[in-house]
Chain A
């Protein structure tokens, strides 16, 4: 999870721009790589991604969240150069992708990237097995090898027995499992998921989110996950980037966003979030005053600083005395009182 040790940056975007419209490159170059709303509007151009700066760390789930038209889908496509950015840099493992030749890009996409699509994008003429093996087929992997690998992943996503089915014979959830299996076939280093669960029913969506988290706990991929659903973002993300009108407004952990929203727009999203699911003991506790840690018999027990209130609530509320909040090394950091937890539960916790 987040916040431990020095992080390696897997993928970074540096002042990345994507402007749609004729003459976009000249337009941006003439303004030294910067432009504001008024200038874009005057030139009749659309700024789909504007000066995006972000780092995606090795092994984290990085969620890009925004409403439709916010540019999140364009941004993720710029990262793999499915859409050619207008300016800026995309650094993947230290290599600037925008400087890569078309041939190099094909190699990178073939071996190191995977992508899951909103509407699954399964090939209708291939069976489940054929679809999952397809990325390997494109690379020229021999049939026996690629089908063996495909079977392994099909089993991983729980579709064993359906290898010979065709996409139209599967439910939406099953189809997306195929999409997920297919994107994992090449063991990508970075895994893009573009609103993978948005086309599914709410119940299936929930199930697929759990499935996704289970897979990630096994595979530890570096993930860029696009969604328009803030609840989904909070459930899955290690960190969230919020986008609006092509610009990234804030990047942070779910808790950061709830506790310290950068703008009213962000606060608007976090408003209805069940705080207990997001806030941790550390952000709700009362820090020790000058008199230091209390004596042993003045608290009911110990809780870890990073634990979410949702998990602790029942225990803390039932106890007569507050709990001691301790960090990883076991050092006491503060006290978690029943009142503080209740405030979170009724929706008036910190960060309001």
Chain B
């Protein structure tokens, strides 16, 4: 840490042994590469030495399902039992919103199907809810979004998706809250759970779909459990953070009035932490939506299923309509939950008097009456039950036509761009990475870890990277790194300047903020559609989709990093006669750099999670490996490849995090 102590020296030139160490390492790498005929094991990890971890995992899974006996019942019976319990709320909500309930009335196939809630009732009630918690603009937005679903014939699918979410979200929030409270109370529990959360957030979803399918069976419940695993970690983290940041005085006040442990948590801490907790709820909703779409692959049905099916048939128009439906649903849910989190207790200033149930909850009762009324009316007026097909619009043919038009008239231009980038940038970079000897990469990562964070970080990152080689995924991992790397560079090149612009101009800030807010609410699936439309499948399409998906954090962090520089520093620079350009380059950028790097870090995380999705458009990286494992139901293969993706993510995250932390300390920002 002598370097850190000498941190007063500004800039990136660091004295000490580091340049020499790096030079030696590069020389060794070059030597290894030149002698690759002699040391072929260094460039291509020998097949014979691969640790058959995936087989072990698969065998363990088999044992777990077939032979593991808990005494009274087997493990499989146990998990299937859980699935059975979880199926009930699912069945209930789905029956109400999307499918109706079946009542047998004698005979084999004769049954009476109850009507689902009337579409009109749902639209009106949600709009009124929006009006009640925020304003007319939100009510209009919500009404528009849900009307779209009805008019464009997406109602049934959207209600399937919505019902999956409305079961998964409360469970995810409750689980996250419970774990978060536990972690807040016991530091030991927090230490134990943090790495698990890291893995839950970085292992791609596809990787654990297979074991979940084995344990819980194919269908909506498995999808729901996958959704919870995916959506819970932020809630756990935010709960711990929110509880910890409740002002010390409020905690002392709670003790001073003699709160019991439970009163303290439920009457003081949680209510005081509510605004932050609601951010977590919003996160859970958005992640659940994203996941429900992905989980359509394992039988969740709904909008995701429609998109996937049309992607496979290359029916762009239909897919796009379903994609827009997802987008609108996402926007609606996001704005609604955000508005809900912002509603502070109403300042009506009227005394609460104890009245009848009706008088106390006029809105709730009114809403229920409205839903019930329209639904019952639907029994006689079919137009209320389901949106009449005659009134449905489809823009499918239009989009198909548009894509055809673009492809006919701009094919050459598009193809030229694609070929140019592929030949001059992507393929050379890929070749370069594939030729890097793996021991050299391990050594480089370790050295970087040593320099940035000490020997513990070096050991961790080296082990994570070595894991990838030893389990035989090196080549695919390098393709992942190449795609991810290029995408991150492009995303940063586009995102960071946008962020700088937004930081220096309030009007731009507002516009950009609105755009990236919307982009971030979109489930990753949606990004595939326009890309496939224009560039068909392959690495290039994947890269474009990843770049689009990964830009928002680069913009957001850059904007934020520059904006939070103390105004006094900018004023000081201005008083000493700096031009705007000088202020940017000499003051704002250097000070914001740690924050910007954290944004790049997030960009990497986003890119990696999107890369796995792009396996659907035919990449050949780890994502594809995970996807193949999914289609072949190969537990071990999927999990090992998934862990490799996670380890790449964690390595990048730890190294960049360590750098940013140190830099912030040097700059005295923390």
Contacts and interface: CB of A to CB of B under 8 A. Distances in A.
B350 to A, nearest CB: 6
B370 to A, nearest CB: 29
Contacts of A134: 257, 267
A135 B257 CA distance: 5
Given A138-B267, A164-B348, A166-B347, A121 B252 contact: yes
B255 interface: yes
A106 B257 CA distance: 8
Contacts of A118: 249
> Residue among A121, A123, A124, A126 with the most chain B CB within 10 A?
A121
A169 B347 contact: yes
A168 interface: yes
B247 A119 contact: yes
B19 interface: no
Nearest to A169: B347
A119 B260 CA distance: 23
A163 interface: yes
B258 A117 contact: no
A139 interface: yes
Contact of B256 (A80, A119, A137): A80
A110 B257 contact: yes
Contacts of A121: 247, 249-250, 252-253
A134 to B, nearest CB: 7
B259 interface: yes
Interface residues of A, number: 35
Interface string A126-157: 11000000110111000000000000000000
Interface in B223-265: 247, 249-250, 252-253, 255-260, 263
B272 A82 contact: no
Contacts of B250: 121, 123
Contacts of B344: 124, 166, 168
A126 B250 CA distance: 13
A168 B347 CA distance: 10
A82 B255 contact: yes
A125 interface: yes
A165 B345 contact: no
Contacts of B257: 109-110, 134-135, 138, 186
Nearest to A109: B258
Contact of B349 (A107, A113, A164): A164
B253 A163 contact: no
B348 to A, nearest CB: 7
B480 to A, nearest CB: 45
A241 interface: no
Contacts of B352: 164
A90 interface: no
A163 B249 contact: no
A110 B259 CA distance: 8
B274 interface: yes
A344 B331 CA distance: 74
A137 B253 CA distance: 14
A115 B258 CA distance: 12
A80 to B, nearest CB: 6
A115 to B, nearest CB: 5
A186 B352 CA distance: 23
Interface string B339-356: 000001101111110000
Given A125-B274, A165-B349, A166-B345, A106 B258 contact: yes
Nearest to A119: B249
Contacts of B345: 125, 127, 166
A119 B252 CA distance: 12
B454 interface: no
B440 interface: no
A77 interface: yes
B151 interface: no
B249 A138 contact: no
Contacts of A115: 252-253, 256
Contacts of B64: none
B271 interface: yes
Nearest to A143: B354
Contacts of A80: 256
B565 interface: no
Given A138-B257, A164-B350, A168-B344, A117 B249 contact: yes
Contacts of A114: 256
Nearest to B252: A82
B268 interface: yes
Interface in B345-392: 345, 347-352
A165 B347 CA distance: 6
A324 B271 CA distance: 64
Contacts of A124: 271-272, 274, 344
A168 B252 CA distance: 20
A115 B256 CA distance: 7
A134 B247 CA distance: 18
> Residue among B250, B258, B274, B352 with the most chain A CB within 10 A?
B258
B256 A82 contact: yes
A1 B586 CA distance: 64
Contacts of B268: 123
Contacts of B249: 117-121
Interface string A54-67: 00000000000000
A169 B274 CA distance: 18
A123 B272 contact: yes
A141 to B, nearest CB: 12
Contacts of A135: 257-258
B528 to A, nearest CB: 43
24 contacts: A80-B256, A82-B252, A106-B260, A109-B257, A110-B257, A110-B258, A111-B258, A113-B256, A115-B252, A115-B253, A117-B253, A119-B249, A121-B253, A123-B250, A123-B268, A123-B271, A124-B272, A125-B345, A138-B257, A138-B258, A164-B349, A164-B350, A168-B344, A186-B257
Given A106-B259, A119-B247, A137-B267, 9 more contacts: A77-B252, A106-B258, A113-B256, A115-B256, A117-B252, A121-B252, A138-B258, A139-B258, A165-B349
Listed from nearest, the 3 A-B pairs whose CB atoms lie closest are A110-B258, A121-B249, A135-B257
